[in-house]
Amino acid sequence: MGILNNRILPPLEQNPPARPPPENSKIEVMLKLLADLKNKHHKRVYGARELLKYIGPGLIVTVGFIDPGNWASNLAAGSSYGYTLLWMVTLSTLMLIILQHNVAHLGIATGLCLSEAAQKHLPLALSRPLLWSAMAASVSTSLAEILGGALALQMLFKIPVKIGAVLVTVLVLYLLFSNTYRKLEKWIIGFVSLIGISFIYELKLANVDWSLAAAGWVTPALPDGSMLIVMSVLGAVVMPHNIFLHSEIIQSRQWNLEDEAVIRKQLKYEFTDTLLSMLIGWGINSAMIIMAAATFYSVGAQVSELGQAKEMLVPLLGKSAGLVFALALLFSGISSTITSGMAGGSIFAGIYAEPLNMKDSHSRFGVCLSILAALLLIFFISNPFRGLIISQMVLSVQLPFTIFLQVYLTSSKKVMGRYANGKVDLVLLGAIAIAVSYLNIKLLLSLF
């Protein structure tokens, strides 16, 4: 026992203190860093700077979302029902994001615009009438856009509408034929920015009830007698020429369609571009309704014409508000006429199985047909407001054909390959197509 008690146990092991790395190790680390600096094969990380290279096509489409036709519908909604119909802007924007994202997929996955794809994959007896009806819709759209710009010139400088229409047309054709696509893209982004800034200024002057606006964005409501305006707001958002145009201009970055990784990256960035751009359009359209609600609705004044809105803004918010309103309308008319002309060029070139190319005769003829035919029609219209109604009628007739054409082509594995719509996408797109078509047809019937 004593021996056991007197045993000397070895001391417990303790962690030895960390030793500094030898000098040779530090030299090796430095040499590795220097060698890595010379390496040209680092894995690329895509961030905000890379994303900015792909922003643009969605903003061009957004112009059609905030064109003079939308102004009339939004001002009528805000002045008649206050903030109540803001939810329609939210709903229509969600539908538009899905449709535009889907048709952009067609351009990315196939390298064809909607017009080219229809020409290639449909029987001639079916594709030609569809595309010529789309061409008529482009003319109708151009008519409304030119009229909007002409009305703005009348507000600003007292220029007669028909002379103003000629001035807008000359300027637009000059911009289209004297600039590359990327320059036009920058012009359009500039116009959209100015329109957005204009309405921020208008909202700053108005006494907005933001709690009511927030509720209006997310609370569906149909006040008595509002159905016509509801259909007008929704029908003015999804437009045939925008669907054709997006499938064309999404190809402006000219990527390698043979590389699946490149296609997947493009699809990702396209959605970001589309989502961001449509949200900007949502903001501007919302601002129109909010401004009308805070100014006209609050004093019980209903607005049915754009010129009337400008005149009524002056006593309510001051002379500068009327001036900014007219300038923003001018920017909207010019920019949306540019995109309508581009869409006409794309549709007409597609009939001959060609992409949009402003140096090509088919594209140029399509642009001129869309814009000059619209200008000619304006000279036979005595009432500009009536002209806007006629243009809406033509769009309402043609829109269902364009949407169902899009859904058919993007759901076809023969056309899209592995990127064809899945079952969930098909059901969602089909429901949107039926709903939009129903509302546009109902709007058309209500005009008689």
Question: Where in the chain are the domains?
Answer: 55-446
Give the rounded percent of residues in the chain with a pLDDT score beyond 70: 84
**In the chain, what are the helix, strand and coil shares in percent, each to the nearest 5?**
80, 0, 20
Instruction: Provide the 8-state DSSP code for 238.
Output: S
Q: How far is CA 421 from CA 119, 251, 263, 425, in A?
A: 20, 20, 16, 6
Kind and range of the H or E run holding 393: helix 384-411
pLDDT at 54: 66
In tens, the pLDDT along 219-262 reads 999 898 887 788 777 767 788 999 999 999 988 765 555 667 76
- Give residue 113's pLDDT: 95
Instruction: Please check whether residue 316 is in contact with residue 147, taking contact to mean a CB–CB distance below 8 angstroms.
Output: no
Distance CA 218, CA 412 (A): 35
Nearest to 289 by CA among 225, 239, 233, 211: 233
Indicate the average pLDDT of the chain: 85
pTM: predicted TM-score of the whole model, two decimal places:
0.83
CA nearest to 175, candidates 8, 384, 342? 342
> What is the rounded distance in angstroms from the CA atom of residue 366 to the CA atom of residue 358?
10
The torsion angles phi and psi of 113, rounded to 5 degrees, stand at -85, 170
55-446 carries CATH number 1.20.1740.10: yes
pLDDT per residue over 126-152, tens digit each? Answer: 999 999 999 999 999 999 899 999 999
Structure tokens at 341: 């002309």
Q: Tell me the pLDDT tens digit for each residue of 175-197.
A: 999 988 888 888 898 999 999 99
Tell me the CA end-to-end span of the chain in Å, nearest whole number: 117
Contacts of 134 (CB under 8 A, 6+ apart): 115, 240, 241, 244, 347, 398, 401, 402
